[in-house]
């Protein structure tokens, strides 16, 4: 079980990223060559230890893209996934990757319903394909598929058979996501003792436990953990790169040189290429995860962010937000008012809070708050003929950026539209002659077809 000393030991562990293999098995996802190259390059820069690039046997375009990625000469070793067939192994051997990942279902359910094969026959098959692949000089990761539902004695035999046939590493696949942290811990520590192969783990997220199980495997001495960016994969996906890497760094103090500051950018890139977007409260990269809302929280965070933050936004190139709406208290409203460049006395702050709390609308937006503050303070922006904002926009998919740009260009109140790199695709400059019009314009942009998400910053002086 979990040993206390592991918690502080910071021992290193490897990460294999499978966004380009498991990730592309997500419903509705297909990467093109250019996207594969960009994802692989970014993963290598981030510092994963192995990149699983796909199975060249799936389609001609995947085969060609794998070749292109392998021709990049990245410093990170590449692995091709392969069925346990000679044809597929022959194909992988042409891809010029260091690793091949072979897999065979070992649970009784797999043996009976997928292969109709007794255990002894499965061991023969595993030996045969591993020997065949080692003739090509490939490093072999052998995965016991559905390992987490495989009889433990047989599973041990499987890995030892794989080792005897020439496998370099073994992998424990929790193919249907039935493990728990405690079961993972017992399974991994048992297998680390009973097999001679360095072991990997591949945790599916059917119960939302994929990251917790991967962490339990780390504590129990696993050599490598499989992940995907944004947790993509079959059904509910697998362990998420950002959550795993940041947990290992922050809780276990591991010494791996992962560039965690790249995570938001990597996540945004994969969101765009996959068309699968994260929830706003997705850990680490979600839009809201460095925002503080309730009065009790914001007043404490303004004194010291440590009060309600374990992770610091600066570590990821992100910013903390102090939100102001009906939950806000004195500290947040004072903070916001002074950010606007205004001074307010206690009575005015009280009045502002009261108006915010008693607004008879479902939401109180930043624009509404500005309006209330300026009304209470007797400052009128309504007639300044100068209400401006920067609106950052992410398109649903790369292909829609131009359509959006063309749409925005027709809009006289959008005075500039720039394509930008990173989480957002476009930055718009919007200029109107009243806050009300600006508010309407931003609402319109938000509801436009192919706009995935927006972030609006009101220009205070300019």
Q: Which residue has the tokens 């440590």?
A: 306
- By CB under 6 A, residue 103 contacts ligand HCA: yes
**Listed residue (337, 340, 343, 305) closest to 321, CA to CA:** 305
Which range of residues in 169-177, 212-220, 270-278, 424-432 is near ligand HCA by CB under 6 A? 169-177
Site residues (CB under 6 A) for ligand HCA, limited to 210-249? 234
Q: Which is nearer to ligand HCA, 202 or 292 (CB)?
A: 202
Q: How many CB atoms lie within 10 A of CB 356?
A: 19
Q: At what angle do helices 119-134 and 152-165 cross, to 10 degrees?
A: 30
311 in Cβ contact with 286 (< 8 Å): no
Site residues (CB under 5 A) for Cu ion, limited to 4-23? 22
Q: Which residue has the tokens 């009906």?
A: 326
By three-state DSSP, how is residue 59 classified?
coil
Q: Which one of ligand HCA, Cu ion, none is in contact with 171 (Cβ closer than 5 to 8 A by kind)?
A: ligand HCA
Q: Which is nearer to ligand HCA, 199 or 254 (CB)?
A: 199
- By CB under 6 A, residue 202 contacts ligand HCA: yes
Q: Which is nearer to Cu ion, 200 or 318 (CB)?
A: 200
Q: What is the DSSP letter of 78?
A: E
Q: Which is nearer to ligand HCA, 103 or 424 (CB)?
A: 103
First to last CA, the chain: 60
Q: How far is the CB of 141 from ligand HCA (least distance, A)?
A: 7
Q: How far is the CB of 195 from ligand HCA (least distance, A)?
A: 16
Q: Which one of ligand HCA, Cu ion, none is in contact with 230 (Cβ closer than 5 to 8 A by kind)?
A: none
Please report, for residues 141, 190, 382, 384, 388, the alpha-carbon distance to residue 433 in angstroms, rounded to integers and kept in the order given: 64, 70, 7, 7, 8
Q: Which is nearer to Cu ion, 184 or 299 (CB)?
A: 184
Q: How far is the CB of 200 from ligand HCA (least distance, A)?
A: 7
The residues, any chain, with a CB within 8 Å of residue 187's CB and separated by 6 or more, are: 147, 148, 152, 172, 179
**Phi/psi at 405 (5° precision):** -55, -45
Q: How far is the CB of 102 from ligand HCA (least distance, A)?
A: 8
Q: Which is nearer to ligand HCA, 110 or 394 (CB)?
A: 110
- The number of CA neighbours under 13 Å toward the Cβ of 132 is 20
Which range of residues in 167-175, 214-222, 359-367, 413-421 is near ligand HCA by CB under 6 A? 167-175
Q: Which one of ligand HCA, Cu ion, none is in contact with 106 (Cβ closer than 5 to 8 A by kind)?
A: none
Q: Which is nearer to Cu ion, 22 or 271 (CB)?
A: 22
The residues, any chain, with a CB within 8 Å of residue 426's CB and separated by 6 or more, are: 392, 393, 395, 401, 404, 405, 408, 417, 418, 419, 420
Q: Which is nearer to ligand HCA, 202 or 381 (CB)?
A: 202
Which range of residues in 89-97, 168-176, 276-284, 336-344 is near ligand HCA by CB under 6 A? 168-176
Q: What is the DSSP letter of 32?
A: -
* Annotated catalytic residue 411: no
Q: Catalytic: which of 81, 292, 297, 429?
A: 297
> Of the candidates 23, 54, 56, 101, which one interacts with ligand HCA according to CB under 6 A?
101
Q: Which one of Cu ion, ligand HCA, none is in contact with 103 (Cβ closer than 5 to 8 A by kind)?
A: ligand HCA
Residue at shortest CB range from Cu ion: 22
How many Å apart are CA 344 and CA 338, to the nearest integer?
A: 8
394 in Cβ contact with 272 (< 8 Å): yes
- By CB under 6 A, residue 175 contacts ligand HCA: yes
Q: How far is the CB of 171 from ligand HCA (least distance, A)?
A: 5
265 in Cβ contact with 271 (< 8 Å): no
By three-state DSSP, how is residue 351 classified?
helix
Q: How far is the CB of 454 from ligand HCA (least distance, A)?
A: 35
Task: Give the number of residues in contact with Cu ion, rule: CB under 5 A.
Answer: 1
> Of the candidates 107, 168, 171, 189, which one interacts with ligand HCA according to CB under 6 A?
171
How many Å apart are CA 401 and CA 407, to the nearest integer?
A: 10
Please report, for residues 24, 68, 234, 250, the alpha-carbon distance to residue 38 in angstroms, rounded to integers and kept in the order given: 15, 11, 22, 28
Q: How far is the CB of 289 from Cu ion (least distance, A)?
A: 26
By three-state DSSP, how is residue 39 classified?
helix
How many Å apart are CA 232 and CA 24, to the nearest integer?
A: 8
Which range of residues in 1-9, 171-179, 286-294, 340-348 is near ligand HCA by CB under 6 A? 171-179
How many Å apart are CA 178 and CA 292, to the nearest integer?
A: 35
How many Å apart are CA 231 and CA 215, to the nearest integer?
A: 15
Q: At what angle do helices 241-250 and 210-219 cross, to 10 degrees?
A: 40
Q: How far is the CB of 175 from ligand HCA (least distance, A)?
A: 4
- By CB under 6 A, residue 24 contacts ligand HCA: no
Site residues (CB under 6 A) for ligand HCA, limited to 135-164? 143, 145
Q: How far is the CB of 270 from ligand HCA (least distance, A)?
A: 18
Tokens describing residue 211: 């990251």
Active-site amino acid positions: 297
* Contact set with ligand HCA (CB under 6 A): 22, 25, 81, 101, 103, 143, 145, 171, 173, 175, 202, 204, 234
* Contact set with Cu ion (CB under 5 A): 22
């Amino acid at each position: 079980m979990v040993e206390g000393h592991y918690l502080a030991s910071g021992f290193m562990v490897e990460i294999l990223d499978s966004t380009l293999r498991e990730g592309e098995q997500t419903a509705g996802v297909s990467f093109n060559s250019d996207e594969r190259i960009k994802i692989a390059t970014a993963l290598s820069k981030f510092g994963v230890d192995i990149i699983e690039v796909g199975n060249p046997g799936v389609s001609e375009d995947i085969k060609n893209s794998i070749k292109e990625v392998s021709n990049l000469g990245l410093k990170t070793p590449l692995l091709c996934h392969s069925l346990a067939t000679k044809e597929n192994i022959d194909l992988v051997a042409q891809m010029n990757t260091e690793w091949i990942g072979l897999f065979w279902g070992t649970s009784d359910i797999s043996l009976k319903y997928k292969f109709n094969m007794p255990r002894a026959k499965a061991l023969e098959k595993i030996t045969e394909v591993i020997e065949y692949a080692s003739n090509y000089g490939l490093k072999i990761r052998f995965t016991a598929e559905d390992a987490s539902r495989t009889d433990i004695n047989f599973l041990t035999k499987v890995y030892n058979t794989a080792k005897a046939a020439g496998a370099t590493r073994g992998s424990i696949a929790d193919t249907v996501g039935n493990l728990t942290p405690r079961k993972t811990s017992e399974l991994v520590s048992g297998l680390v003792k009973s097999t001679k192969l360095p072991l990997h783990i591949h945790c599916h997220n059917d119960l939302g436990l994929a990251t917790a199980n991967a962490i339990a495997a780390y504590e129990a001495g696993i050599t490598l953990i499989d992940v995907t960016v944004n947790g993509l994969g079959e059904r509910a996906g697998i362990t998420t790169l950002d959550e795993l890497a940041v947990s290992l760094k922050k809780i276990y103090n591991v010494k791996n040189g992962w560039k965690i500051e790249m995570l938001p950018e990597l996540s945004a890139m994969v969101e765009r290429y996959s068309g699968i977007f994260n929830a706003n409260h997705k850990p680490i990269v979600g839009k809201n995860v460095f925002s503080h809302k309730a009065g009790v929280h914001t007043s404490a965070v303004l004194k010291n962010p440590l009060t309600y933050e374990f992770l610091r936004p600066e570590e990821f190139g992100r910013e903390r937000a102090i939100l102001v709406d009906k939950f806000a208290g004195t500290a947040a409203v004072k903070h916001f008012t002074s950010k606007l460049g205004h001074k307010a006395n206690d009575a005015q702050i009280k009045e502002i809070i009261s108006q915010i709390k008693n607004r008879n609308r479902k939401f109180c937006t930043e624009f509404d708050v500005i309006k209330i503050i300026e009304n209470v303070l007797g400052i009128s922006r309504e007639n300044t003929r100068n209400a401006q904002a920067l609106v950052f926009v992410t398109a649903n998919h790369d292909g829609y950026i131009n359509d959006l740009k063309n749409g925005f260009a027709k809009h006289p109140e959008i005075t500039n539209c720039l394509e930008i790199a990173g989480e957002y695709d476009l930055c718009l400059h919007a200029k109107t002659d009243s806050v009300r019009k600006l508010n309407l314009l931003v609402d319109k942009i938000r509801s436009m077809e192919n706009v995935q998400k927006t972030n609006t910053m009101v220009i205070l002086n300019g």
